[in-house]
Amino acid sequence: MSGIHIKRVTIHGFKSYSDTVTFGPFSPGTNAVVGLNGSGKSNFYNAIEFVLLDEFDHLRPSVKKSLLHEGQGVSSPTAFVEIVFSNESRVIPIEKDEISIRRSISLQKDEYFIDRKHSTRQDVRNILEQCGFSPASGYYIIKQSKVTSLTTMTDAQRLDLLLDIAGVKVYDTQREESVKIIAQSMERKKKIEDSLEYINNRLKKLDEEKAELEEFNELDKKRRAIEILIQDRSSRENQIEIEARNEELQVQTTALASIRTEYTENQTEVHNLTDELTNTKIKEKLCLQDRNNLQQQETDLIKQHERAQLKASKYEEKLKTAEIEIQDKKSKLEKIEEEISNAKNQEEEYTKEFDEVSQHKAEIEGQLSVLQSLCAGQLEDIDNVNAELKAAKKEIEKFQKEVTSQEKSVTKAKNQLDQALKQRSSFVDEFKKLKEGQKKLTEKRNELLDERKLNWSKQYSLEKEHHDIKKHLNELQVKATRSANSDVANGIDYIKKNKFDGFLGVVIDLIEVDQEATVAASVIGGRRLYYIIVDTVENAKKLTKKVSEQKNCSCSTIVLEKVNPSNKELPEGVDPLLNHIHYDEEYQKAMELIFGGYALTSSLTEANQISESKKVNCVTIEGETILSSGIMNGGSANLNRSPLILSTQINAKTKDLQKVKEDLKELNEKIQGIEDEIKKCDTDIAGNEKQLTECRAREVTVKSDVEKARTEVDNAQKELEIKQNQFSDMKLHLNSIEQRLQALQEPKGEADDETRAKVRELLDQRVEIDSQRLKLIQLRSILRQRMRDVLVPQQRQISDQIAELDPSRIKQKLKQSEQKSKDSEKKLNQVNQRQEKINQKLNEISEEINRLSNKIESLKNDQTKMDKKISQYQSTIDKIHQRLALLEQRQEDIKNESMSIGAYPEDEIKEYEDLSMSQLYNQLHEVNESLQTFRFVNKKAIEQYQSFSSQREELERRKEEIETSGNSITSLIANLDFKKNDAIEHTFAQISDNFAKIFQELVPTGQGVLSLLKNPDDDNKAVGIGIRVRFGDNTEEVGTAATSMMQLSGGQQSLVALALVFAIQKFSPAPFYLMDESDAALDPNHRKAVADLITKLSKPQDDVAPAQIILTSFKPELLESCEKLFAIVQEKNHSVAKEVKVDEALTIVNERENA
């Protein structure tokens, strides 16, 4: 078997392999696995055996647990071993280059997989046998322990090994079974012979009983003839009474059917009225809920109206108070503004007077300066005065710029104040706008909440109606399910859910029946109402197969393409049942198959007439049937359990439910839209509130900005006043200089008394003028301070108070409150109107409930009366049925007695047929008296004689068959013994020849022979296999021999055992071999010979295909010849594998030897 070999081995969770470890890819030739003791080499071979060998087939839980990895940390809950085989030569008949076999175990599971597909152990065994590998044999995996066991085998054990290899145990099993069959056959033959002896004795005795039986038979014929005549006359009399009773039953049944029809109609009306009453009560309940809601709304609106009126009254009072206070404030403001105006005029007068006084002072100062210089005799130099004048003018020009700059600062501060005031005004407008928007949003939200509340009430009403309809529909569906077989109902549900191809529907779902024909159609349709209509045979087969695979499911189908109804057309003058059944045209054939051939009649009498006259099948509207053959089926039908009526009611309720669902969906969408608008309002309100909050926050800032701007204006004004005063002083000084210059330019004389008097006068005037100037300065300063610190703040304060007391805001709130009052009053009127309508509607509903209740009560009273009549009719009919049952039973008894009498004795009947009944009874008495003398006769003597004769023939035939079969089995046993001996001889010859050749290869100077030991006292039966070998080398003479394995050294014994293993493998070759330290006991020379032989096995030969070798060894001789080497090491108590080179493998081997 070339081309198949192990390519990879993957181990996970198995013994020392906790993680996933992969060995490979392996060479198709020789491979070696090395590792230190305890690294996991043996576990590697155990893993392969775990997958391939039968000895690991059935594992106990304790064994499974031992195979799962247990180490440091968490133990592995599962383990698997996967072997990948190369299949390039397609030895395994699967179109893949690689085939994997995996075995996975846990404490609960043990599974096999082929190419990752779930498989059985037998599937794995079949694939291995196709490769030439026998899972039952252990000689493809050679461990050191197996080599040791071969060295210690006895001759008899070696013979058992040979028998296993030759497969002769099959012959032994067949021989044992054949011997067992022969023993059983002999036992059966003995029983047959005993039975034959008994039968022969019994036949002799039956010959004597036959004559007595023949005389008895003559008398028995007379008895039977008389009894037949008596039974015939009794049967005719019985039949006459049966016909009379049937006529009476017909009359009673017709009357009962009529009253039951009336009862059923009454019951249907009660049912409909009850449904109507229930719905009316639901409406009443919903109206009561609406009224309660409206009453609650009325209470809320009254409170809302009262609150609005109270607020309006408060705002009216507040408006009056505000207007009075505003008027008072305005009066105060006018007075203050008038005072400020007067103060400003006074200030201007003070300033004007101050300027005049200052001008006068300047003139006096000029004159005084010149006169004082003159008096002193030293006039000022005009040039110096001009220079001083020039400097003063320059200083004034410079200061003029400062005053102008300060005036601009004042203007700027006033502009900023104006801007702040405008911003405050804008803020007030924005705040009002936001408040108005917030009010509108709140009003809109309240309207939406009221609308949602109203729709919630409608939603509750619809949900209640939906719940009631659904509950009623479920009750009807339960009744419909109970009317069908549970398995059929399950099957229909399964088909509808899966929507199979070709499924067209269930008969009962595809038809609509007129009300008067409902009961009739239910009776005729019967179980076929639940048949499944399918388009083709193929789809029907698929559908029925799927249904049959389900638990507690069944179905019956009508295949449209196969339907060919044989119903003949009904004659004219009859009403076909099909005319009252409506369906799609494509189902015509199916409906004809079920309902065709039946005429619908109004009564049983009409049905009887039509059936007899026109020979057609008839069904009454009450469900009674009369076939054209005369067979009649009667009784009453329960309308409440009629599947078609239930189906009609279900369809109606389904439509009602769908309508309510649509209304509910539309209402839910409307409510959702309202809720979305409410959410939007909430969002807008929140946004508005956020803006209001921001406005309130900005209000503080704006007020602060206004106050700050006012402060800046005041400060700038103060600074300007200071500079203006300084500027006035500078102008006065300039004027004084100009006056001095003017005085110097005038012609002067000598100082005299007049001049000095003038100086004193001027000095006095200057003092007086300074006093005036100081007084004017003080008055103007006091006036300015009063305006700045008192009048202007008062003006601002009163203006702010008037702004805060803005009556328009109070008027707006008053208007809002009045509007709320009007709105609540309007809504209150609307609620009152709705209450009046609901009260009116409740009165109407109450009247309707009383009417329906009275009607139902009346109908139930009628039903009670009809119940009594039905009971009376039913009692009479039951008595007739009982009598008919007795008569029919009597008729059946007469028939059975006639049949039990036996054969019809025509001659004897003719002899007695003219006798009366009394004469017949007398004759019967006489014959019975005569028969008393034969009461001990064997009435079955003739039959027994014939039966025993047949049994004797059958037993003789079976005895002959057993003898023939025994001879065949004896021949088979002889043949099996021959084949067994031949197989043993052939197998031994092959293995013996292989052993001699292989031993010669391993020990070129030696010789090995296998001998088949036989027992001459037991027909030369094989009893064992002996081994004789001799070893020779440069120090031993050729011919040195050992006659016993025990006389050999350990290494020689191992070599002989390996030679025997190789001989067995050559007899029954496999695609691969595993060897686990099988060379451990060999010396280097023999180990080299074994290595050469292994290498030879892995190469193609003339008559033997190459084999893959995977071995483990601690000796370099075997490792050096290997094509691939793998090392197993321990890492953290886990086995890990890796591919290595020869020198690395030898290093590991040396480490082991040194250790």
Please classify residue 376 by burial: count the beta carbons closer than 10 Å to its beta carbon, then call 0-12 exposed, 13-18 middle and 19+ buried.
Answer: exposed
Q: Which whole number is the average pLDDT over 407-434?
A: 74
pLDDT at position 10:
93
| Higher per-residue confidence, 461 vs 166 | 461
Q: Which domains does the chain have, with CATH numbers?
A: 1-140+1070-1155 (3.40.50.300), 485-662 (3.30.70.1620)
Report whether pLDDT(1) > 50. Answer: no
pLDDT digits (tens, 9 = 90+) for 154-203: 777 777 777 776 666 666 666 777 777 777 777 777 777 777 777 777 66
Q: Is 873:252 a contact under the CB 8 Å cutoff?
A: yes
Instruction: Tell me the backbone φ, ψ of residue 2, rounded to 5 degrees.
Output: -90, 155
Dihedral pair phi/psi, residue 1100, rounded to 5° = -65, 140
Residue closest to 143 by CA, chosen among 1112, 1050, 1083, 1075: 1075
Q: Which pair of structure tokens corresponds to residue 432?
A: 């009002």
**Residue 268 — φ and ψ, nearest 5°?**
-65, -45
**How do residues 1032-1090 score in pLDDT, each as one tens digit?**
654 444 344 555 666 777 777 777 777 777 777 777 777 877 887 777 667 777 777 77
Taking only the tens place, the pLDDT of each residue in 369-406 is 666 666 655 555 667 767 777 777 788 778 777 778 77
According to DSSP, the residues that pair with 601 across neighbouring strands are 620
What value does the mean pLDDT take over residues 716-728? 72
Q: How far apart are CA 283 and CA 155, in angstroms?
A: 105
CB atoms within 10 A of CB 735: 19
pLDDT band at 11 (very low <50, low <70, confident <90, very high): very high
Minimum mean pLDDT range among 266-270, 329-333, 853-857, 1076-1080: 1076-1080
Give pLDDT, residue 752: 62
For the stretch 563-606, pLDDT in tens is 877 666 788 778 888 888 888 888 888 888 888 888 888 777 77
CA 1015 to chain CA centroid, nearest Å: 77
pLDDT digits (tens, 9 = 90+) for 727-779: 776 776 777 667 666 666 665 555 566 766 777 777 777 778 777 877 877 88
Phi and psi at residue 78, to the nearest 5°: -135, 165
pLDDT at site 166: 65
What is the rounded average pLDDT for all residues in the chain? Answer: 77
Percent of the chain with pLDDT over 70: 81
The count of other CB atoms within 10 Å of the CB of residue 1009 is: 14
What pLDDT is attached to residue 101? Answer: 92
Q: Which helix (H) or strand (E) holds 512?
A: strand 512-513
- Confidence at 9, pLDDT banded by 50, 70, 90: very high
> Quick one: DSSP state of residue 274?
H
Residue 91 buriedness (CB in 10 A; 0-12 / 13-18 / 19+): buried
CA–CA separation, 1008 and 994 (whole Å): 10
Segment 62-88, tens digit of pLDDT = 888 888 877 665 567 889 999 998 888
Task: Assign 8 a pLDDT band (cuts: 50, 70, 90).
Answer: very high
Q: Is the CB of residue 23 less than 8 Å from the CB of residue 1126? A: yes
* pLDDT at 725 > cutoff 50: yes
Q: In the prediction, which pLDDT does 171 show?
A: 64
Predicted confidence at residue 1095, as pLDDT, reads 78
Mean pLDDT score, 786-807: 74
Contact 745, 386 (CB under 8 A): no
Q: Report the distance separating Cα 1046 and Cα 1066, nearest Å.
A: 26
More confident of the two residues 807 and 186: 186
Read off the tokens for 858.
């009346």
Per-residue burial over 277-313, b = 16 or more CB atoms within 10 Å of its CB, e = otherwise:
bebbebbbebbeebbebbeebbeebeebbeebbebbe
Residue predicted with more confidence, 853 or 787: 853
CA distances from 372 to 483, 758, 766, 769, 772 (A): 147, 10, 14, 19, 23
Tokens of 806: 């803005």
Selection from 835, 816, 512 nearest residue 649 by Cα: 512
- pLDDT above 70 (res 208): no
Over the stretch 912-955, which tens digit does the pLDDT of each residue have?
A: 777 777 777 787 777 777 767 666 555 566 566 667 667 777 77
Tell whether the model's pLDDT for residue 318 goes beyond 60.
yes
Looking at the chain, how many residues does it have?
Answer: 1155
Tokens 């296993």, residue?
A: 164
- Residue-level pLDDT at 104: 92
- State the alpha helices, DSSP H only, in 1003-1014: none
**Nearest-angstrom CA–CA distance, 943 and 338:** 159
Who contacts 20 (Cβ-Cβ below 8 Å, separation ≥6)? 10, 11, 12
Tens of pLDDT, residue by residue over 32-52, are 888 887 788 888 888 888 888
Radius of gyration in angstroms for the set of CA atoms belonging to the chain, rounded to a whole number: 66
Q: Please give the structure tokens belonging to residue 1020.
A: 């030369």
Q: Tell me how crowded residue 479 is: count the other CB atoms within 10 A of its CB.
A: 17
Bigger pLDDT: 59 or 699?
59
Q: pLDDT tens digits, residue range 435-453?
A: 777 777 787 888 888 778 7
Of the ranges 86-95, 104-113, 1004-1013, the best mean pLDDT one: 104-113
Locate 373 and state its tokens: 């210089």
Crossing angle of the two packed helices 169-376 and 941-1002, in degrees rounded to 10? 70
The lowest-confidence range among 137-146, 268-277, 657-666, 1113-1122 is 137-146
Residue linked to tokens 């006033």: 414
